[in-house]
Structure 1
Amino acid sequence: MKLIIHGGFFSESSTSQETKIAKQNALERIVKDSYHFLKTHSAVETVVYAVSLLEDDALFNAGIGSQIQADGKIRMSAAIMDGETQKFSGVINIEAVQNPVQVAQRLMQYDDRVLGGIGATNFARQNGFGPFSTEIPQRRKEYEAKLKSLGTGTVGCVAFDQNGKIAVATSTGGKGFEIPGRISDSATVAGNYANEFCGVSLTGVGEDIMSNATASKIVTRVTDGFSLEVAFAKTFNELKAYDGFAGAIAIDHKGNVHHLDSHPSMVFASFDGDNFEVFN
């Protein structure tokens, strides 16, 4: 069993050492808690569990840490993918729910598995997800002062369960001050993709990630026989043509874990029951 999570990027210029350490500690707690959950649950159930914990921590740009858009509202996106069944489900620009990834999980049961905007929010209400404000004072202050950091925060998880099944989930609160209606990569196969051979979750500039079809490229290359390291190297090299900004985490069907970012400032943690690793 293997588990890796990420907490998006942080800005060297605007992130204090205290906040950096707090994020590392939070990632350690969440990855170990989620690994314990993985012992008795499937990969799909575990990635939803882990990302829900990240959404519930205001340190990260998802759920209650989400950024505020140009019109003063918070809209979030999240997706999950089951590597075994190849089912992908997601919500785009959903409003006023606590855990977008859990709404995405509920959509797995339907034929129409990706919903956006008011349709996603209405679906959540109809399925027992009550109104919940994810706005915190810190984000309101940032919005009012028009303070921007990197604007590339996202959270994600890839799990490899006891049966060798892979699943991935990704959630984001946006980049902040974006045009309402902007689509992030997190609820697309460019930012969140898995099959029986590999699962990948991305963070970074959504437009760059979608232009490169990053997650699906990595998974396809692993499926075609490339190692994780080579698949990452080839795919990230293709981002260089337009100075693409991205970071990714992955686990393959052999249990290999890998991560890479184009501008080293991604926060992540991995755990396999014995070995814990946290970076940045």
Structure 2
Amino acid sequence: MSCLLIHGGFFSESDQSHDTKIAKQNALKEIAKKSFEFLKNNSAEETVVFAVSLLEDDELFNAGTGSQIQSDGKIRMSASLMNGETQKFSGVINIENVRHPIEVAQILMKEDDRVLGGNGAKKYATENGFEDFSTEIPQRRKEYEEKLKNGGKGTVGCVALDKDGNLAAATSTGGKGFELAGRISDSATVAGNYANSFCAVSCTGVGEDIVSNATAAKIVTRVTDGMTIKNAFEKTFSELAEIDGFAGAIGVDKNGNMFHQESYPKMVFASFDGERMTVFE
């Protein structure tokens, strides 16, 4: 049974409007449907890249176009991909001026050196045909200017199970906003994005908390060791609570069981299996 989940960070009732909430719900439903159609004829790895690239193109979410701006006024993005069947992980860290960081991560799958950062990542992207592209939007610049006077926490991701039983996870982020220049999130690490032949997990939230808790890797390892996906999530999030961690995660196991959890409401997500669509409320 093929299925997938996507996430788009967090939604705060206190600082985001009802109209924004409806827009995010509609966007997630549309992207989930398009991605499931793609999944019918493509692998889990190809599908999670496809889904995350759509999320990177949507200005509602903090990845690709619409990414947050760091404290020095620049946008630096991170993204990673993991194929559960091959157990290969690839990613880019703090890459600048590319439209789809997740697609650069995908190209890196063929390399021996599969995680690149900063200027090296940008140079590799250019050499592989990725054109210069500004991902800044006026709203992010306005938010940045406000922060200079005195965050929003979000990332996007997808996990998928394909018709052949293969799993994959992809995650992309524009950071938490106004962070120290060069700060590295969880999104291009196995703490935030992990998959094997048993389970695939993608995280969102505060990267430092997710890394401290090794969230994605813990959940996948526990499912591999025999826990149900529900129990693996609950155990891992109980440990996250011990450090008051701010995170959300989506996951799917090899049997098509999907699960999501958050430490603070509310994570923006959608799941679809061809019949049932579930969207955050």
Letter in 2 for 1:99: H
| Paired position in structure 2 for 1:199 | 200
Distance (whole Å) between structure 2 residues aligned to residue 70 and residue 11 of structure 1 = 22
Are 1:181 and 2:159 an aligned pair?
no
Distance (whole Å) between structure 2 residues aligned to residue 277 and residue 11 of structure 1 = 19
| Paired position in structure 2 for 1:168 | 169
| Paired position in structure 2 for 1:49 | 50
Q: Which runs of 5+ in 1 are unaligned?
A: none
SS of the equivalent of 1:182 reads: coil
SS of the equivalent of 2:97 reads: coil
Are 1:104 and 2:88 an aligned pair?
no
CA contact (8 A) 2:68 2:75 kept: yes
| Paired position in structure 2 for 1:13 | 14
SS of the equivalent of 1:68 reads: coil
Distance (whole Å) between structure 2 residues aligned to residue 242 and residue 157 of structure 1 = 26
Q: TM-score, normalised by structure 1?
A: 0.98
Distance (whole Å) between structure 2 residues aligned to residue 274 and residue 12 of structure 1 = 29
Matches within 5 A, 1:50-69: 50-69=51-70
| Paired position in structure 2 for 1:231 | 232
Cα offset for 1:241? 1.3
Distance (whole Å) between structure 1 residues aligned to residue 140 and residue 12 of structure 2 = 15
Matches within 5 A, 1:106-185: 106-146=107-147, 150-185=151-186
Distance (whole Å) between structure 2 residues aligned to residue 273 and residue 11 of structure 1 = 29
Cα offset for 1:240? 1.2
Distance (whole Å) between structure 2 residues aligned to residue 58 and residue 21 of structure 1 = 14
| Paired position in structure 1 for 2:26 | 25
Give a deviation string over 1:16-74, Cα, whole Å, max 9, x none. Answer: 00000000000000000000000000000000000000000000000001000000000
SS of the equivalent of 1:77 reads: strand
RMSD of aligned alpha carbons: 1.0
CA contact (8 A) 2:78 2:188 kept: yes
Matches within 5 A, 1:200-279: 200-279=201-280
**Segments of 4+ in structure 1 off by > 4 A?**
none
Letter in 1 for 2:135: T
Cα offset for 1:147? 7.7
Distance (whole Å) between structure 1 residues aligned to residue 89 and residue 254 of structure 2 = 18
Give a deviation string over 1:185-215, Cα, whole Å, max 9, x none. Answer: 0000000000000000000100000001000
Q: Which runs of 5+ in 2 are unaligned?
A: none
CA contact (8 A) 1:151 1:174 kept: no
SS of the equivalent of 1:145 reads: helix
Distance (whole Å) between structure 2 residues aligned to residue 216 and residue 26 of structure 1 = 28
Distance (whole Å) between structure 2 residues aligned to residue 113 and residue 246 of structure 1 = 26
| Paired position in structure 2 for 1:75 | 76
Distance (whole Å) between structure 1 residues aligned to residue 101 and residue 259 of structure 2 = 26
Q: Percent of counterpart pairs with the same letter?
A: 71
| Paired position in structure 2 for 1:91 | 92
Distance (whole Å) between structure 2 residues aligned to residue 181 and residue 55 of structure 1 = 20
Cα offset for 1:11? 2.1
